[in-house]
Chains A and B, each alone.
Chain A
Amino acid sequence: MKEQLSALIDCELEANDRDRLLGQLGVDGDLRQDWHDWHLVGDVMQEHPLLSPDFMKRFSERLAAEPIVMVPVKRRSLLRRALVPLSAAASVAFVSVVGWQAYYGASRGNAVPAVALAQQTQGLDDEGARIQGYLAAHRHDSGNPFAGREFMQASFDPSQAK
């Protein structure tokens, strides 16, 4: 199913499979989450500006309010159908492989679902030390000197933590 989802994102799916998968997306919440996550990761990797958080909600609301216009289906030209999937496949496939590694490899060794919790690092790697430094500075200027003892004891100079 995951392979098919990836193929769908790359527009590589045959019409039959595509319709079946789209139907599945309509009823399977987990699959929909995967779909959403993969696109999110793709966007982050490609440095697309992230859409405002409630974009989908507002989009759905507006879409629901749109009148439905019935028109005869036009067949797309064979050439177009052949070319579009190729270019899309090339870009997204690259991003989804490299993207996953770069996106998570930096902070975690193991892959976790997108936007899942990145646990506090036990062995402080570079990224962990970097995050820790920002957290300490943030806490220092915004928080309670008693809040989070380890932040107090952490050096506020992350360059030393490296």
Chain B
Amino acid sequence: MRIPSVWLLAGGVLLSSASLLAAGPATSAPLSAAEANQLVQRVANAPRLVSYQGVYVHQYGDRFETVRVVHIADGDKDIERRETLDGPPLELMRDGDRVGLFLPDEAYPTSIDRRMMSKLFPRAWPEQAQQLLSGYVVRRTGHARVAGVATDIYEFEPRDRFRFPHRYWIHPETGLMLKSMMLGVRSEPIELFTFSQIQIGGNIDRKLLKPSHPLRTVPLENGDGDALRVQDPEWEVHAMPPGFRLVKAKRSMWGKGRPVTHHLYSDGLVTVSVFIEPKQRSMAPSLSQQGGMSFFSRPLGNYVLTVVGEVPAEAVQLISNAYVLRETDTAQ
């Protein structure tokens, strides 16, 4: 009987919080709208207001990455620095709205999206709770330790079939997110962020903010959302899944003579991209899924419409079908 218990212990350590959760109450009452609202605000604001430093692990499919993050909030100062600890060195430094990057030479973007900067773990939630809560029901399902710190576990259960469930481990005193997990349709983990070591508050060594590589400043770019929606005479957009909003629209050239219109939608937690480009050769619709990523491409008149996002296959199909060709005679 000793061996099974050893394995049980090992399993428990590996899946620590998942197994604790399973042992907890199967269903708990959903948070009231007011409670959920308050939770979202608190967790969204915590990474800006709280000083912390630690190391987190990001796991996505078979990829695995360790990142050191230092954040200092001191009066009106808001500085953070991140660097990868395995694989090729990548580094990011942000002082307020100024961002410096160290990346492999060919990987420097011309600009960084402000929205994306506001999504770096543990900043995962938007400040507008309403949109987020229109897509998910929130339950508090238990407690667990993450990196030696006690946390509350919150379950974000989708209200429909167009998104995946999420689970969050929140430090109750500060509202800082210490772990997050996106689950697939069969409740299998798809993407995981978790601190393996963390110091919250207290004296944070300023030396940790010193860059270890020469950084290049990259401008922040705003996503203008609906204001930027490209009005095209040839297609129009009908009903999207509830909660999904256009956060960005842009048109760019991919190679020679390949103008691609890119619409980015978000429900507050996950994003879906829609790409529209001129059809260059005949193609058949194709649908595929990989990990939590779904991909659906189909012809739309003289265009190819491709939808990609961290959502179930149903959602990319629905979003794809929301794009329809305008009736040619409506112009009259």
A residues adjacent to B (C-beta < 8 A) = 44-45, 47, 49-50, 52-54, 99, 102-103, 106-107, 115-120, 127, 130-131, 133-135, 137-138, 140-150, 152-153, 155-160
Most chain A CB within 10 A, of B106, B256, B309, is at: B106
Query: How many residue pairs bridge A and B at CB < 8 Å?
Result: 136
| Interface residue tally on B, bucketed by range | 35 or more
Identify which of B20-28, B114-122, B138-146, B206-214 touches chain A: B114-122
With the chains together, A50 CA to B115 CA distance in Å?
32
With the chains together, A140 CA to B250 CA distance in Å?
13
B256 to chain A, nearest CB (A): 7
**A137: chain B residues within 8 A (beta carbon):** 254, 260, 262, 273, 275
B170 to chain A, nearest CB (A): 20
**A118: chain B residues within 8 A (beta carbon):** 288-290, 295
Q: Contact string, B239-279, partner A, CB cutoff 8 A, digits 1/0?
A: 00000000010000011101010101010000101010000
Identify which of B5-13, B34-42, B310-318 touches chain A: B310-318
A141 touches B288 (CB 8 A): no
Q: Which of B65, B67, B104 contacts A153 (CB 8 A)?
A: B104
B330 within 8 A of A: no
B residues adjacent to A (C-beta < 8 A) = 58, 60, 63, 65, 67, 82, 84, 87-88, 90, 92, 101, 103-104, 106-107, 109, 112-113, 115-116, 119-121, 161-162, 248, 254-256, 258, 260, 262, 264, 266, 271, 273, 275, 283-291, 293, 295, 297-299, 306, 308-309, 313-314, 317-318, 321
**B254: chain A residues within 8 A (beta carbon):** 133, 137, 157-159
**A157: chain B residues within 8 A (beta carbon):** 254-255
